[in-house]
A and B are shown apart, each in its own frame.
Chain A
Amino acid sequence: MHKEESNIHDLELVKRAIADPNEFEKVVEKYWGPLARFVRRISSSSNADIEDVLQDSFVKAYLNLNSFDESYKLSTWLYQIVRNSTIDAFRKNKSHFAISQIEDKEIEELFASSLDMEKDSDLKRDVTKLRVLIAQLSTKYQEVMVLKFLEHKSYDEIMDIVKKPKGTVAALINRGRKILKNRFEEENI
């Protein structure tokens, strides 16, 4: 119910923003924080770069407000735009996905939720090793795992954000988990 209300509210925001650009400020205010966190989680960009990517993304979103599909969640649509802008920025800077800026507690969370483990002191102790394990994962796994286990997006949402079929998304997440689990055991952490 809460989600539905949020969607209705978002739809209303979009409709108002189409009619009056000043209303778009509310969309930016609502989603800047989560999107900035998302970009930080999947890139090694500086705060200034993140701000540039987000500004660019929100301008794109504004220009494309009429193509927003009501069957999507506004957040999903914005994540999709931000992800594309981030990739464009990677291309410009010749960089790539890197979850180097991810915080220690996020590393623990990623491991705990992806490997169904309890967040315990052992995980805390070995967080540097865990960081290396995640960094060794291919970027295609890193991205979907961040979306699933840190951003807590559903498979449908991830499918729409990364624009890949649901089956592919599920396979990437499963394979990513398996690789992490195997390395976790091999390293005897």
Chain B
Amino acid sequence: MDQAKKVLEKIKNLHLRPQSKLVVRFKQVGFWVLGGILILLGALFFSIAMLAIFDVDPRVLTSWNLAKLLRFMLLSAPYFWLFLLLVVGAFGFLAIRKTKGGYRYRAWAIVTVVVLLMAIFGTVAHAFKINLDSLEIWERQAPPFLQRFAPPRMQMLHHPEEGALPGRILEFDEDGFELESVGGKIWKIEAKDSLTEGLEEEDAVILFGDRLGEDGFEAEFISRRPFGPRGGANFHNEERSND
């Protein structure tokens, strides 16, 4: 058959040889490895984004109305991490789709598995505080131009006009205490004795309540948060990033 001879001639003239088994195997495993890495990265971003939920005291659910809660969520949502989560999720999906036989599965089935795996591993990362450690590394080492897209947690939650004020307790007085917030601003806090019980100077807290004038705040409830060395955003970093 002429055609067969022509194909063979072409193969011989170009000195072609079948791709080695090793390269083939590497390509086949490569997409699974890439998919796995992207899912783990996605899980990390998911767990970092989760912090935004855990930072907010659950008591807001009963004391704030839905509109206020939604406004606060929109203002303090971790958009940068959610964006990265979306990007690695999409590439993870494509990597799995590109694996040998990946086309056999429906898109929604792959998306479901990718989302579930990210959520499961993300929860594990949260349980082991891997998200806090990673955030701490990020806030210490990421270049400032990148940090602009992912402000420190304290800064993200800093919305006194919406009723949330994170900061560090400086000194107690008869009405409450003085608080240093993001950027070093000093606030005069009004809080009942029952709210300040157990709190100490230098404690990192988030106050939920109402703003009073320029630098006053009435605390409705106070949430103590681990903003220290294991908290992913200590004050020294805050100050550095705000300078």
A62 touching B16 in the complex, CB below 8 Å, given contacts A163-B103, A164-B103: yes
Determine the residue in chain B with the shortest Cβ distance to A19: B18
A55 at the interface (CB under 8 A from B): yes
B11 touches A59 (CB 8 A): yes
Per-residue B-contact encoding for A153-168, CB less than 8 Å = 1, 0 else: 0000001000111111
Whether the pair A25, B5 counts as a contact (CB closer than 8 A) is: yes
Minimum CB–CB distance from A47 to chain B (whole Å) comes to 11
Task: Indicate whether B106 reaches chain A with its CB closer than 8 angstroms.
Answer: yes
Known interface pairs A21-B11, A32-B4; A62-B18 also in contact (CB < 8 Å): yes
Q: Could you list which residues of chain A lie within 8 angstroms of chain B, going by C-beta atoms?
A: 17-18, 21-22, 24-26, 28-29, 32, 51, 54-55, 58-59, 62-67, 69, 159, 163-168
Task: For B74, list chain A residues within 8 Å (CB).
Answer: none
- Measured between beta carbons, the chain A residues less than 8 angstroms from B5 are 25
Residues of B within 8 A of A66 (CB): 18-21, 24
B-side contacts of A32, CB under 8 Å: 1, 3-4
Partner of B7, one of A59, A159, A166: A59
The 3 closest A-B pairs by CB, nearest first: A28-B4, A163-B103, A65-B18
Q: Are B10 and A55 in contact (CB under 8 A)?
A: yes
Q: Note all chain A residues with C-beta closer than 8 A to B19.
A: 63-64, 66-67
Can you name 24 A-B pairs with beta carbons within 8 Å?
Answer: A17-B18, A21-B8, A21-B11, A24-B8, A25-B1, A28-B1, A28-B3, A29-B1, A29-B4, A32-B4, A54-B3, A55-B3, A55-B6, A55-B7, A58-B7, A59-B7, A64-B19, A64-B24, A65-B18, A66-B19, A67-B24, A69-B100, A165-B104, A165-B105
Chain A residues whose CB sits within 8 angstroms of the CB of B20 once the complex forms = 66
Q: Judge whether B185 is part of the interface by a CB distance below 8 angstroms.
A: no
Q: Are B7 and A28 in contact (CB under 8 A)?
A: yes
Known contacts A24-B7, A28-B1, then 14 further A-B pairs from the complex at CB < 8 Å, ordered by chain A residue: A21-B11, A25-B4, A25-B5, A29-B1, A32-B1, A55-B3, A59-B7, A64-B19, A66-B19, A66-B24, A67-B19, A159-B104, A165-B103, A165-B106
In the complex, are the beta carbons of A24 and B11 less than 8 A apart?
Answer: yes
Query: Which residue of chain A has its CB nearest to the CB of B28?
Result: A67
| Distance, CA A169 to CA B86, complexed state (A) | 29
Contacts of A168 in B (CB 8 A): 106
Give bound CA distance, A109 to B8, whole Å: 35
Query: B12 at interface (Cβ–Cβ under 8 A)?
Result: yes
Q: What 0/1 readout, one digit per residue, does chain B (8-36) give for beta carbons within 8 Å of chain A?
A: 10111000111111001001100000000
**A18 and B4 within 8 A (CB):** no
Q: Give the chain A neighbours of B104 by CB distance below 8 A.
A: 159, 165-166
